[in-house]
Structure 1
Amino acid sequence: QLFNTVLNTADNKTILVPNGSLSTGIINNYSREARRRVDWTFGIGYGDDYDFAKATLAELLDADSRVMKDPAYFIALQSLGDSSVNIVVRAWVSTADYWSVYFDLNEKVYKVFTQKGINIPFPQMDVHLIPSPAPKKEA
């Protein structure tokens, strides 16, 4: 329109953007390209077998026909966190499949990791209580 641009979001919200802001601002278009990369980070326990977890993630990606073979998916040890060993997973999918693949893999990882004995830790802190010394008695 003359004074503003009307956008409809994926969750069916209408956004009115003044054309002045639109001409000087940044626009992120998530649907223009035919494919998108999905990124996940999955944490496993420090006592768990990283190679086994990585192989399990690869099996899940290989079994999903929506995950593109080219470019190939990527799995690596991302970081050693406070409560978990964090594994990054990146896979290319059709833009139309982005959210279904994202949510489906989250659910599959939760179920399969549990079945295979791979722990998904949660943030925790050890607290050590040190008793205070007994008060001195006066004579």
Structure 2
Amino acid sequence: MSFIIGVSYDADIDKVKQLLTAIIESDDRILRDREMTVRLNELGASSVNFVVRVWSKSSDLQNVYWDVLERIKRDFDANGISFPYPQMDVHMVNQQEKAQ
């Protein structure tokens, strides 16, 4: 399974990688005989995106997915790592003032 986790640009990327690695290594349902990946994947428009790839038994897939996501949110909150949200600045120009 894969996760794309976006964090704010002011996040410490080494800390993010350390937390993500600790989270997946602590879940016994994640298979150790398959490669686990935690890498910086993209510098997005509003976030620094990491990819996390792990394997589990098919019977554990949904619960592992949901539990890992919940743990990521909890651990990132506890460590001051924020999840950005897209935003747009709008500048209003008064057409009457512009004409003068």
What is the TM-score normalised by the length of structure 1?
0.66
1:57 Cα deviation from its structure 2 partner? 0.3
Equivalent position to 1:77, from 28, 31, 40: 40
Corresponding pairs, count: 99
| Distance of aligned partners of 1:135 and 1:123 in 2 relative to their CA distance in 1, 3 Å threshold | closer
| Distance of aligned partners of 1:87 and 1:134 in 2 relative to their CA distance in 1, 3 Å threshold | closer
Equivalent position to 2:76, from 108, 113, 135: 113
Structure 1 unmatched ranges of 5 or more: 1-37
Residue 95, structure 1, aligned to residue 58, structure 2: yes
Please list the CA deviations of residues 67-104 of structure 1 after superposition, one character each: whole Å capped at 9, or x if unmatched: 11121210111111111111000001111110000000
2: CA distance, partners of 1:54 / 1:98: 22
| Distance of aligned partners of 1:131 and 1:65 in 2 relative to their CA distance in 1, 3 Å threshold | same
1:131 Cα deviation from its structure 2 partner? 4.4
More strand by share: 1
Structure 2 unmatched ranges of 5 or more: none
**1:118 aligned partner, one-letter code:** I
| Distance of aligned partners of 1:135 and 1:47 in 2 relative to their CA distance in 1, 3 Å threshold | same
2: CA distance, partners of 1:51 / 1:121: 18
Identity %: 35
More helix by share: 2
What is the TM-score normalised by the length of structure 2?
0.90
**1:41 aligned partner, one-letter code:** I
Asked which structure has the greater RCO (Cα within 8 Å, sep 6+), the reply is: 2
Q: Does the residue aligned with 2:55 lie in a helix, a strand or coil?
A: strand
2: CA distance, partners of 1:48 / 1:126: 22
Q: CA RMSD in A?
A: 1.5
Structure with higher Rg: it is: 1
Q: Does the residue aligned with 1:93 lie in a helix, a strand or coil?
A: coil
